[in-house]
Homo-oligomer: A and B are copies of this chain.
Amino acid sequence: MTQYLLTRPHTLISLTAFADRYQSAKSSISEDLAIIKEVFEEEGLGELHTLAGAAGGVKYFPKMGSAEALSIMNNICRQLEQPERVLAGGYLYMTDMLGQPGLLSDVGRMFATAFAHLDIDVIMTVETKGIPLAHATAACMNLPVVIVRRDNKVTEGSAVSINYVSGSNKRIQTMSLARRALKEHARVLIIDDFMKAGGTIQGMMDLLFEFNAKVAGVGVFVESGELESEERLFEDYVSLAKLTAVDMKSKQTTVIPGNYFAEHVN
């Protein structure tokens, strides 16, 4: 039962399904669920919600406790501060970290914790480095992912394209999304790897407007805090880490836990 729940997050499973599967009485299933619930909470794996009634059942919400999250994120910040990560333009090389399954599953669980209370239909990101983060979050929240392309590929069918101005370097760029990728009125969680002024995310928001879809939330892995706050294009987002200083000469950077840790104290 533990594995069945763990591999089906954000999915309502009826007691009848469990009773049939394990050929047990519903009463003993309930007792077992109570034990599992306790263990999940003790181990900081998340919450098990029980819904009573005929349409009822049990749903597993993967979450991460704030102490565990902070300890993991402090560790990630130290990795991000390695001097060899500093690239031209004040960017940080973090592609290698975004390829680590352990880090991705931790980050996915943090975003799933931050956005668990929201009503979301789909997770959106833009290629390329946001994709693993979006999918790691999607796996924890049982949500589909749509990927905004920076070009318009033949294999996607008809698409909507928009131009947007990257906020930090003021260049005009194009992004597009297949017409069939998103339903009207979808509630969308935007996930991306890095945000400076927020031009790319603002572009995704403009694209959502074209689809009559709604932004339910924005989560970024690292925000650059080197801007005056009036330069930021929008205010409502969750960041897991914040790059507060880059010294290009000495290649010294400072990375601290993001606003996630200010707002989401359990």
- Chain A: residues with CB nearer than 8 A to chain B? 2-3, 6-7, 43, 45, 87-89, 91-93, 95-96, 99-102, 104-105, 127-129, 131-132, 135-136, 138-139, 142-147, 149, 153-157, 178, 180-181, 194
Which residues from chain B contact A43 at a C-beta distance below 8 Å?
3
Which residues from chain B contact A178 at a C-beta distance below 8 Å?
93, 95
Task: Give the CA-CA distance A111 to B131 in the complex, in Å.
Answer: 20
Task: Give the CA-CA distance A100 to B141 in the complex, in Å.
Answer: 11
When the two chains form their complex, are residues B101 and A156 in contact, meaning their CB atoms are under 8 A apart?
A: no
Q: Separation in Å of the A62 CB from the closest CB of chain B? A: 10
Task: Give the CA-CA distance A76 to B157 in the complex, in Å.
Answer: 20
Give how many copies assemble into the complex: 2
Q: Separation in Å of the A253 CB from the closest CB of chain B? A: 14
Nearest residue, chain B, Cβ from A148: B128
Known A-B contacts A7-B6, A131-B131, A135-B101; A181 and B144 likewise in contact (beta carbons under 8 Å): no
Which residues from chain B contact A129 at a C-beta distance below 8 Å?
155
Q: Top 5 nearest A-B pairs by Cβ distance?
A: A99-B145, A91-B155, A99-B144, A131-B131, A127-B128
Which residue in B2, B104, B127 is a CB contact (below 8 Å) of A2?
Answer: B2
Q: Separation in Å of the A84 CB from the closest CB of chain B? A: 8
When the two chains form their complex, are residues B2 and A155 in contact, meaning their CB atoms are under 8 A apart?
A: no
Which residues from chain B contact A2 at a C-beta distance below 8 Å?
2-3
Q: Separation in Å of the A12 CB from the closest CB of chain B? A: 14
Known A-B contacts A3-B43, A45-B3, A88-B154; A99 and B146 likewise in contact (beta carbons under 8 Å): yes
Which residues from chain B contact A87 at a C-beta distance below 8 Å?
154-157
